[in-house]
Chains A and B, each alone.
Chain A
Amino acid sequence: MKREDFIVILSLLLILEGYLGDNIVPALLGFSMTVYLFMLRSKVNFDIRGERIVKDTRLEENKIGGIVVRLENKGENAVVRIAELTKDFEISGAPYSLLERGESREFVYHITPRYKGEFSLRPAKVIAEDERGLYFEEFEIGSEEKVIVYPSVEGIKEAARADYNLRLAELYKKSQFVGTEGVEIKDLREYRHGDDFKRIDWKASVRLGELIIREMLKESDADVYIFVDNTSEMRKGIRMAKVDYASTLALQLATTLIKSYRVGMVIYDEENADFIKAAKSMAHLENMRRKLNLRWKKGVMSLRAKLEVKLSKKGRAFLNKVLPLKKGRRGSKGIFEGLSLIKGPSFLIFISDLNNPSDLYKAMAQAKWNHKVLLLSPNPILFYGGELDRETLKRLYRAYLEREKILKRFNALAPTIDLGPSDYIREIAKVI
């Protein structure tokens, strides 16, 4: 409903009240309100003119650029709001201010490009509203501008890191790489595509005239810890839950690895972590198998995957106060509890569907300081067991795009392998 209509209805109701109540007071007030509206509408006169100056038409990805808009009000007093009609840029500090009759002023706000490439910035939209918020008018200020966005140095670095980790993930699939590397050199060999640049022996390369790679001896006594995500989203499923798959995968990994390494396990949920210390015996394997009797629950997967939760400052402060009180807990979440229990440098294999990516991301970033990290992620989209109709397919596609972004971020952090229900250990274990 429009604000003006609301006042019209009120004035008519007052007249009706006066008629039914034999009282001229409400009727006179209702009539006065209509005269007041008549006066306001007859005074409406929006006339905003101006120009827009884009300070930099060559920007860097995720770097802020400035825009200046000069406005002149040739009509009645108006509250002006400036908006940019674009999805390629994030707008910040867009002004909202009263511009009095005959006044001219300069407004400054900022744009941050979301992607790299060449974009056109349409004329700025200026919305002028009368002082009483009943009427408005829209104006277009400035002309279309071409803005070129270059990739940022950080962006290039992140892409390089992601590429490096992607190649590393491929390497995990192709050859064994478990265990931390020692300082002893096992052998020298020619550089092969996918090798880590850090292991190039530059002296030998100069001597022999081609790139030479140092192969290091693996420390076979390094512990391997498998982190199994047992949070509620992992347990959801229609016929089979991701946690069933994760349990089987974890057990298969443990069976294969325990022949050469001491293997431990951390099964974590939203609140607790079940820790099994690394050991190297078949009895220990049986112990792990018993711990992996995780129950699934019937339910539809949320397919949610967002790294950042958009909350206002107030909302975040409120949640920070309330969430630690949940079930009387004040400590860290399960995954952090599990991490804190691992003492020496180890090789950590996380199995998670990334349904709570922000916690996992923080935990992996923290773990990278002391440990080698690998993430195996069952793709929830490939695990979807419900009926497929047009709407579900759209939802799945959106979730797939969101997950691709998340995977890219994780790949920049550590090697990440995306898994489907048929990717049992055949792919991974036969080589480990």
Chain B
Amino acid sequence: MIGVIASIIGGLMLREYIMLIAPVVFIISLKNRDAGLVGYFLYIIYSSSKVVSGDVYTYEELINALIFAFSGVLLLDDILKRDIRMKKLEIIPVLFILLGVLLPESFLAGGVLYFFMMKPSLRVALPIIGSILAFAILKENLLGLGPSGQTVVFGSFALFTLAATFLMRDVKRVEMFK
């Protein structure tokens, strides 16, 4: 449920009311996980075009982009988990997210805390630290290139992460609609 709450709060913070339909997508996923994923696909492709941010070096724009990214990933997690019940440990990050209405940084802290509670391995930090370093080192060059240049950096790190994901280990994967 944390993803649904995050999407609603995020929608209110960013004044993008399309994000308020996130509960509908979640309800679809309760009926069928794959139908929920398809619903999420349409929802996220549309809503991400509505929130505009052109620069990671501007604090407000970066915060807005991160709020949307966190709410999107948390909602994806909800759709995959399909669990209505909220665990006791989830209450703390939810409180942080709710406080985001007053203090936007609190929203991000709630999101980070939730993912920390999943006890990820240290390797997960590599692409994140890598991208932060790249943006810091190449600041002068990237400022001149504008938003497309910055998306290229995100794209390259995404490809690197995907390659690492698929090469890391071989697991059996679940088919959709089966």
Q: Which of A22-30, A173-181, A190-198, A235-243 contacts B (4 or more CB under 8 A)?
A: A22-30
Q: Does B66 contact A (CB under 8 A)?
A: yes
A157–B69 CA distance with the chains assembled, in angstroms: 69
Q: Does A274 contact B (CB under 8 A)?
A: no
Q: Could you say which of B118, B131, B161, B169 has the most chain A C-beta atoms within 10 Å of its C-beta?
A: B161
- Chain B residues near A17: list those with CB within 8 A: 45, 48-49
A14 and B76 contact, Cβ closer than 8 Å, known pairs A31-B158, A135-B172: no
A134 and B158 contact, Cβ closer than 8 Å, known pairs A35-B128, A41-B165, A42-B120: no
Minimal beta-carbon separation of A102 from chain B (angstroms):
14
Q: Are A41 and B171 in contact (CB under 8 A)?
A: yes
Q: Are B157 and A24 in contact (CB under 8 A)?
A: no
Which of B44, B152, B174 is within 8 Å of A29, CB to CB?
B44
- Chain A residues near B164: list those with CB within 8 A: 38
Q: Are A2 and B174 in contact (CB under 8 A)?
A: yes
A6 and B176 contact, Cβ closer than 8 Å, known pairs A35-B128, A42-B168: yes
Q: Are B151 and A24 in contact (CB under 8 A)?
A: yes
Q: Which of under 10, 10 to 19, 20 to 34, or 35 or more describes the interface residues of B?
A: 35 or more
- Chain B residues near A129: list those with CB within 8 A: 174
- Chain A residues near B119: list those with CB within 8 A: 43
Q: Does A252 contact B (CB under 8 A)?
A: no
A25 and B172 contact, Cβ closer than 8 Å, known pairs A18-B154, A32-B73: no
Minimal beta-carbon separation of A428 from chain B (angstroms):
53
B:27-83 near A, CB below 8 Å: 33-34, 37, 41, 44-45, 48-49, 51-56, 61, 64-66, 68-70, 72-73, 76-77, 80-81
- Chain A residues near B161: list those with CB within 8 A: 31, 34-35, 37-38
A17–B56 CA distance with the chains assembled, in angstroms: 17
- Chain A residues near B168: list those with CB within 8 A: 38, 41-42
A15 and B174 contact, Cβ closer than 8 Å, known pairs A24-B54, A25-B52: no
Minimal beta-carbon separation of A126 from chain B (angstroms):
13
Q: Are B55 and A24 in contact (CB under 8 A)?
A: yes
Summed over the interface, the residue pairs from A and B with CB atoms below 8 Å come to a total of 182
- Chain B residues near A276: list those with CB within 8 A: none
A:140-187 near B, CB below 8 Å: none
Q: Does A4 contact B (CB under 8 A)?
A: yes
Q: Are A43 and B118 in contact (CB under 8 A)?
A: yes
Q: Does A136 contact B (CB under 8 A)?
A: yes
- Chain A residues near B68: list those with CB within 8 A: 25, 28-29
A3 and B65 contact, Cβ closer than 8 Å, known pairs A31-B158, A35-B161: no
- Chain A residues near B165: list those with CB within 8 A: 34, 37-38, 41
A3 and B53 contact, Cβ closer than 8 Å, known pairs A24-B150, A29-B44, A39-B120: no
Q: Does B175 contact A (CB under 8 A)?
A: yes
Which B residue sits closest to A30, measured CB to CB?
Answer: B158
Q: Are A6 and B37 in contact (CB under 8 A)?
A: yes
A43–B168 CA distance with the chains assembled, in angstroms: 11
Q: Are A42 and B80 in contact (CB under 8 A)?
A: no
Q: Are B121 and A10 in contact (CB under 8 A)?
A: no
Q: Does A399 contact B (CB under 8 A)?
A: no
A2–B166 CA distance with the chains assembled, in angstroms: 13
Which B residue sits closest to A12, measured CB to CB?
Answer: B158
- Chain A residues near B158: list those with CB within 8 A: 11-12, 15, 30-31, 34
- Chain B residues near A22: list those with CB within 8 A: 54, 146-148
A21 and B49 contact, Cβ closer than 8 Å, known pairs A3-B176, A15-B155, A29-B68: yes
A38 and B127 contact, Cβ closer than 8 Å, known pairs A7-B76, A44-B171: yes
8 more A-B residue pairs beyond the given contacts A18-B151, A34-B161, with a C-beta to C-beta distance below 8 A: A17-B45, A25-B48, A25-B53, A36-B77, A41-B165, A43-B118, A44-B171, A133-B33
Chosen A-B contacts, 11 in total, with CB atoms closer than 8 Å, are A3-B173, A15-B154, A15-B158, A18-B48, A26-B49, A27-B151, A28-B68, A37-B162, A41-B169, A42-B124, A135-B171
